[in-house]
Structure 1
C-alpha cells in the first residue's frame, strides 16, 4: 500500500474506534515507544512516585522495570553540589509546564558511581489536573563498550535481568515467551538483546548464548538453563 493509502486506512480505522478503544490503542503504542527509548526514562506522580519506567532506566539498577514501580524516583539519586528541587516543587504547585535539568549522581547495579543530568519535565493533561513528572536521565560518564571477547568474570557486569533473558534464550524460548517470563514487552526484550550484542560484539542470539556459557554467565551442565549467579532481586 502506498503511504497515502496507508494514512487513509489509519484514518478510517481511527474513526471506527470508540473513545475508549482509541485511548487504549494510542496508550499501547506510546508504551512501545517508551520501552524502545534508549535514554533511561520514568513517568511519575507529582511527588516522584514511579508509575512506569523503561528498560533502560531499570537496567541502571539491575532490576525488572516493575520492581521500581511505587518507589520514589528522586530517592534513587543524590543531588550534586548546588542542585535544587525547589523550582520543580514550585512548578508542580503552580501547575506550570516546565523543564528543569538537575545534576545528580547514583550507584549503578554493579556498585559503580555514576554521574549525569536528570531532566525533569512537569507535564499535565488538563489545566486543572494534578501534574505529573517525566524524568529523562542523561549520563555524562558513559564509557565505550568493551572490545569483543569478554573475560571470564564478565558475568559481574551483567544485570540479573540480562542473565535471566540469556538463560531463557538458551532454553529455546521465543521473544514473546521471554517477555512474559521477565515482565517486559517484546520490544523491551529486544532492547536487552541489542545492548548485549553491542557490548559483546555479536550478531546473533546463538553467539550471545555461547558467550554466556563461555564467560560463566550461565551454569554449565543444567537444564533448563539457569544463570550461574542467582540474584535475590529476580
Structure 2
C-alpha cells in the first residue's frame, strides 16, 4: 500500500481500538492520522477497524467469489505477465473481477487472506493494471473484501450470514479520470452513486466498471447491491486501500 493510501486510511480510523495481533502495525506503521472518525466495530470479544463505519460479523458459511469480466474486457492473466505467489503465472480461475479503465484493464486476483480475516469470513485479493500493449503493474498487494457491513445495514448482515458473499469495489484514478470497478455475486444488480449522481451498473458477477466524478471516493461514492430475488438493497463498503492513484 502506498504511503498516501495509508494516510487516507488513517483519516478514517478510530483513535482507540483493539486490533488482531500484527494488523495494526501492518496498516498504520510510520504514518500519522490527520483526522479521525468514530467507529463502533465488534466481533465476539474484540473489535477490528478496517474501513469507516464498517461492522464485522461472523459468517455461517464461506463467502463466494467471482470470475472473468462479463463485458468482454477480460484478459488471460497468464498471458499478460501477472504473477502470483512464488512467481507463478496467475490463471483465469484466480481472477475475481476485471474491467476496462481507459486504455488498460484492471484485474482483481484472489489471494490468501490473513488468518484473522479468514476467521471472520473475509477474503483478499491483489489488484493489477494491464495497459494495452504494456507490462502489467501491481497497484495493490492486499485488498480485503467480504469482511463487513455498514453499521446498521441489516440487509447486508442478513446477506452475509447466508454465506453468498457481499461484493467488492475498487477505485482507480488515472490520467485525471476516476474509474470504479465493482463485483457482486450472481443474481444481484449494482448501482454506483457518485456525488449524488446514480450510475446503473447492472449485473456484475464478473466485474464491471463505471467512470464517475468525485473528489474523495471514500466520502463521495457509494456502491449498492440489490438482490434480484426479493429486491433487498445493501451497501458494499470500501475496504482500506481500495482507492488507488497512479
TM-score (norm 1): 0.23
- Greater helix fraction, Structure 1 or Structure 2: 1
- Greater strand fraction, Structure 1 or Structure 2: 2
TM-score (norm 2): 0.22
